Amino acid sequence: MSIATSKITPCLWFDSEAEEAAKFYCTVFDNSRITYVSHYGEEGRDIHGKPAGSVMAVMFELDGQKFSALNGGPRVKFDDAISLQIECADQNEVDYYWAKLTAGGEERPCGWLKDKFGLSWQVVPAVLYEMLTDKDHAASQRVMHAFMQMTKYDIAVLERAFEGTAQ
């Protein structure tokens, strides 16, 4: 029996917070659920060092995207080399995800943040992609300049920069 139903499922390595993180993420995103939790047994304890009965792995879905989370110990930490990107339809979505995911975490430049577990996220308005790929090179460069000054994206400021009416 395969526990993953898609070919590619991101696996997030935690020290011992996999289930806590999965539960938290499921509260942030609609259409989310924990689908499977496995536990360590005595086998391999000399290697993994985890007590029998403790959570080993959690399979979960965030808005339909499958993830796994592993309690693999403190050897591996998250870094900015990988992040999860949230495409937001409007400012309300940007504000919602930003508030939820920065709680206990850290704001970073250009729509990036680290959540309370140290995982990097990008909270990006969908309209940003349209502006940056527009045929009007000067407009896209004004948008680039504007967003390089931001932490959380402000769509109204980006739109004014695009239109050339920014103050």
User: CA–CA separation, 45 vs 140, rounded Å?
Assistant: 55
Q: Which of 166, 90, 83, 80 is nearest to 128 (CA)?
A: 90
Does residue 1 register a pLDDT over 50? no
**H and E: helices and strands count for the chain:** 6, 8
**pLDDT band for position 166 (50/70/90)?**
low
Look up the CATH superfamily of 78-167: 2,3-Dihydroxybiphenyl 1,2-Dioxygenase, domain 1 (3.10.180.10)
Break the chain down into helix, strand, coil percent, rounded to 5: 30, 25, 45
**pLDDT band for position 48 (50/70/90)?**
confident
The dihedral of CA 40, 45, 49, 53: what is its sign?
A: positive
CATH of 1-76, one of 3.40.50.300, 3.55.40.10, 3.10.180.10, 3.30.300.30: 3.10.180.10
